[in-house]
Copies of this chain bind each other. A is one copy, B any other.
Amino acid sequence: MHRATLREVAVMAGVHPATASRALNRQTEGLVNAETAARIKRIAAEMGYTPNPIARSLKTSRSASIGLVIPDLTNPLFPPIVRGVEDVLRPIGYNAWIVNTDSRPDVEKAAVESFRQRNVEGFVFATAHLKHPLLDELAAASTPMVLVNRRSTRTDIPSVTPDDAAGVAMAMQHLVDLGHTKIVHLAGPQDLSTGVNRRRAFLASLDELGLPAESSRVIICDEWSEQAGAKGMRAMLDSGPDFTAVLAGNDLLALGVYDALSERGLRCPDDISVVGFNDIPFMDKVFPALTTVRIPHYEIGAEAARLLLEVLRDPNRHPRSLLLPLTLVVRSSTGPVRAGN
C-alpha cells in the first residue's frame, strides 16, 4: 500500500512542494493564498496524505516526542504516572517514548543517548538519584526535562514530587492519635530524595510530637522492595529499640514488614501497627489492611508533562518544581465479613 508524499500532493494541486508544505503547516499556512491553501488541504485529505515524521524530523531536528525514563514498569507506582504523561501529551500530538532502565545507569545512559539521536524534545525522568551525573550533564546542556517522584540535589531541575514531609507528618500524627509513642521507621535508600526526605521527616516528627528522636529508631533499607523491608524489620526486631508501630518508607517495604512480623508470630495491628507510603494500586486488597499515605500518581505524571511542555515553549522560563499534596488513607481489616477468616 502506497502512502502519499508531499510531492504527490503538490503535483495534484498544481503547486510546488514548498507551497504544499507551507499550506499544510499551521505555522506557515498564512503565507499561502487562502484559496490555494484550501485546495491543497482538500487534495491532501483526499489522498490520505500524512506527513512523514522521519523525513520531517531529519530536516527539523524535532520529533513531537519526549523520552519517559522509568526504573521498572512492573512496580505499580509507575504505570499511572505513564498514563498521566500520555494523556496530557496525546491531545497536542506529542507522544512519549517509554524505557525501563532496571535502575541501571548504563541502560539509562544508552536509552537517553538513543532518545537524543531520535530528536526527542525533552525528558521525564522517574529515575533521579540525589547524585546523578547523567542528569547533571543534561542540565548543563540545557536539555528540557522534568523529574517525577524523586528529585536530584540539583534543585534547579524542574520536578513534580509528592510532599513527602507533609505525608510523613500525617502518618505520624495518625499513629500518635492511636496512642503509639514507640514508633520506628524503615527508611528507603539514602541516595534517593524520597528515602532521605521521609527519614528526615520521621525524625523531625518525633521531635515535634515530643518523642525522642533517636537515630536507633531508623533502619535504612538498601532498596524499595518487599525483601529489603523484611530484612530491615528483622534487624529492627533483633537489635532495635522497643516499638509498637512502624512507619515504612513505602508500601513495598510495608509488605516486607508484614512478612517479618508474620515470621515472628506478631500480629497486625494487635501487636504492631504498620503505616505505608504511596498507596500503590492493589494496596487496598492486602491483608492485614494497610493504612498508607496516598500519592496522586496520575496527577504527578500529568503535571510533569504540563511542566515539560512549558519548558519546551519557553526554555528560558525560570525553573519551577511542584510539590503535590498527599492524603492519609486509613484502612482496617475489621470489616464484618472479611475479618472472619
Residue A265 is within 8 A (CB to CB) of chain B in the complex: yes
Residue A155 is within 8 A (CB to CB) of chain B in the complex: no
- Cβ-defined partner of A73 (8 Å) among B57, B79, B269: B79
- Determine whether the beta carbon of B86 is less than 8 Å from that of A82: no
- Determine whether the beta carbon of B337 is less than 8 Å from that of A119: no
> How far apart are the CA atoms of A136 and B146 in the complex, in Å?
40
Number of copies: 2
Most buried by B among A73, A95, A281: A73
CB contact under 8 A between A74 and B285, given known A54-B54, A86-B100, A336-B265: no
- Determine whether the beta carbon of A50 is less than 8 Å from that of B341: no
Residue A286 is within 8 A (CB to CB) of chain B in the complex: yes
- Determine whether the beta carbon of A255 is less than 8 Å from that of B119: no
CB contact under 8 A between A285 and B288, given known A74-B79, A74-B83, A100-B86: no
Residue A33 is within 8 A (CB to CB) of chain B in the complex: no
A62-90 interface mask toward B, CB cutoff 8 Å, 1 = contact, 0 = none?
A: 00000000001110100110110010000
Please provide the chain A residues from 83 to 112 with a CB less than 8 Å away from any CB of chain B in the complex: 83, 86, 95, 97-100
> How far apart are the CA atoms of A313 and B137 in the complex, in Å?
39
> How far apart are the CA atoms of A98 and B98 in the complex, in Å?
7
A254-289 interface mask toward B, CB cutoff 8 Å, 1 = contact, 0 = none?
A: 010010011001111110000000000110011110
Residue A31 is within 8 A (CB to CB) of chain B in the complex: no
- Determine whether the beta carbon of B270 is less than 8 Å from that of A341: yes
Contacting residues, chain B, for A325 (C-beta < 8 A): none
Total contacting residues, chain A, CB less than 8 A: 54
- Determine whether the beta carbon of A333 is less than 8 Å from that of B337: no
Residue A118 is within 8 A (CB to CB) of chain B in the complex: yes
Q: CB-nearest residue of chain B relative to A98?
A: B98
Residue A178 is within 8 A (CB to CB) of chain B in the complex: no
Contacting residues, chain B, for A336 (C-beta < 8 A): 265
Please provide the chain A residues from 31 to 51 with a CB less than 8 Å away from any CB of chain B in the complex: 50
- Determine whether the beta carbon of A95 is less than 8 Å from that of B114: yes
Residue A58 is within 8 A (CB to CB) of chain B in the complex: yes
Q: What is the minimal beta-carbon distance from A255 to any residue of chain B, in angstroms?
A: 6
Contacting residues, chain B, for A285 (C-beta < 8 A): 255, 282, 285-287
- Determine whether the beta carbon of B83 is less than 8 Å from that of A337: no
- Cβ-defined partner of A286 (8 Å) among B262, B281, B287: B287
- Determine whether the beta carbon of B73 is less than 8 Å from that of A119: no
16 sampled A-B residue pairs with Cβ under 8 A: A50-B113, A53-B118, A58-B58, A73-B83, A74-B83, A95-B114, A262-B335, A262-B338, A265-B336, A267-B337, A269-B341, A270-B340, A286-B286, A287-B288, A287-B333, A287-B338
